[in-house]
Amino acid sequence: MKRFFIILTLPLLLISTSTAQPLTDSIKIKQYKKVAQQFVSSALKERKGYDALKNLCRIGPRLSGSRNSLIAINWAKNKLIEMGSDSVWLQPVMVTHWERGDIEQAGIINSKKFNGIRLHISALGGSIGTPPEGIAGRIIEVQNFEELKEKKDSVKGKIVFFNRPLDQSLLNTFRGYGEAVDQRVYGAIEAAKYGAIGVIIRSITTKYDTVPHTGVMHYVDSLPKIPSVAAGYLDANFLSRIIKEDPNLKLNMLLNCKTLPDAKSFNVIGEIKGSGHPEEVIVVGGHIDSWDVGQGAHDDGAGCIQSIEVLDLFKRLHIKPKRTIRCVLFINEENGSRGSKEYSNFAENSGEINLAAVESDRGGFTPKGFNIRTDSSRIIEKVKSWLPILEKAGIDWIRKGGSGADVGRIKNARALFSYVPDNQRYFDLHHSANDVFETIHPRELELGSAAIAILVYLLSEEGL
């Protein structure tokens, strides 16, 4: 099957590349601007996405395998049906199923001065629990894996405290996050190499408060699995200070989180069939799962709602797309990516042409631009020629860059896009109890919907 479709789609790809011309027709540009303004006006005035996100957030957090995640999946399916999508379906997939449990504590013992003080912590996603009596160990603080290696002879039996903060001096908070997140993801592996019994990390956040930020962490089978938690920013400051004052103090950690057998779940898919080239598919998506703290309002409730609203904007403005527009709400982005693997397998083998995919997973903030991932400089030039139309929703640039964790797996797409909103506030909230609906601004969220809708509309009209 697969080989057959490769042969079939190859000529189409060649045709497409040769027609990837920048948009210069001024009458067309004018018409497109008019439609773009309709998207913007409808989104900003009606605030339907904002209202929908409120309802999604009311369900609560939506970690893969949880009851809430299934409620949210069902809610999104019904939403796509109600708005009159041409078809809506659930794509089954087995997902990671980790549960935090109801106990997570970390407190100071073995210290005259600091005994009994508790830290604000959050178990990292995927962490094992502790024995019922907890674990306790002295703390060794390091900034990075190099320092850990240097101190390897002092690690045994201790809890490793990874304390390197997100670098606030960078304009791009995603870069700061990317440079700090190894501690969270691989900290337990590195620490276990040298005999550590647990890991505590400084939360990877831009906010100076006590709210811990969770996120995925990994183990390898060849090393002992050790429990791992994140401490709030100010708690990390405090911990760093008191272990200097009293190096003999111990941290007592008590967690009853655990990984259960994989659970059945679903990607949520809804689409409007293209009127001219129904076989050419434009995916727009976000991930329906969230961490189990907060409400996943920005990460990635916003992206899901924006993806749903793209379809709804076409419907309520009675715009029939030439190419098929498919909303895909991926499950399990946070701790397994099973949803995106499942969808990309399907997309590779479906016989459809994966024209483009747009991901929104950077929060519901004011639009800045779109990253585009493609090897074709002609496609980039073509998309850049759409900027005067995209500007209607506040899009200032198109840049070559990464797409996103979910759509990035759709390998045979001609171009992959990541919607890039302002990122200054994102890591204040990301993976924490602060990621709630109240932090969503209606105009910011809705402009994102409009910006993505305009891009999808132009992809649908102009192809690639």
Strand order in 323-330's β-sheet?
Answer: 87-99, 258-272, 323-330, 277-287, 353-359, 415-421, 367-373, 397-400
Considering only residues 12, 13, 44, 242, which one is a binding residue for its own copies as defined by CB under 8 A?
44
Q: Fill in the per-residue mask, 266 to 295: x = in contact with its own copies (CB under 8 A), - = not in contact.
A: ------------------------------
Minimum CB–partner distance for residue 22 and its own copies (Å): 20
* DSSP code, position 110: S
> Is 333 a known active-site residue?
yes
The tokens describing 415, both together, are 């171009």
- Strands 415-421, 353-359: parallel, antiparallel or unpaired by DSSP? parallel
Considering only residues 112, 133, 171, 318, which one is a binding residue for its own copies as defined by CB under 8 A?
171
Smaller CB separation from its own copies, 264 or 441: 441
**Residue 393 binds to its own copies (criterion: CB under 8 A):** yes
d(Cα 464, Cα 446) in Å, to the nearest integer? 26
The tokens describing 360, both together, are 């929104």
d(Cα 431, Cα 420) in Å, to the nearest integer? 19
Considering only residues 8, 14, 81, 170, which one is a binding residue for its own copies as defined by CB under 8 A?
170
Minimum CB–partner distance for residue 171 and its own copies (Å): 6
Smaller CB separation from its own copies, 170 or 220: 170
Considering only residues 110, 143, 237, 424, which one is a binding residue for its own copies as defined by CB under 8 A?
424
* DSSP code, position 374: -
Which of positions 2-31 make contact with its own copies (CB under 8 A)? none
Considering only residues 258, 277, 322, 368, which one is a binding residue for its own copies as defined by CB under 8 A?
368
Considering only residues 210, 366, 376, 385, which one is a binding residue for its own copies as defined by CB under 8 A?
366
The tokens describing 381, both together, are 């030039």
Which residue in 331, 308, 267 sits closest to 80, CA to CA? 308
* DSSP code, position 250: E
- Alpha-carbon separation of residue 237 from 114, 136, 447 (angstroms): 14, 20, 38
**Residue 400 binds to its own copies (criterion: CB under 8 A):** no
280 within 8 A of 463, measured Cβ to Cβ: yes
Which of the residues are catalytic? 333
Footprint on this chain of its own copies (rule: CB under 8 A): 40-42, 44-45, 168-171, 173, 206, 366, 368-369, 392-394, 396-397, 422, 424-425, 441, 443-444, 447
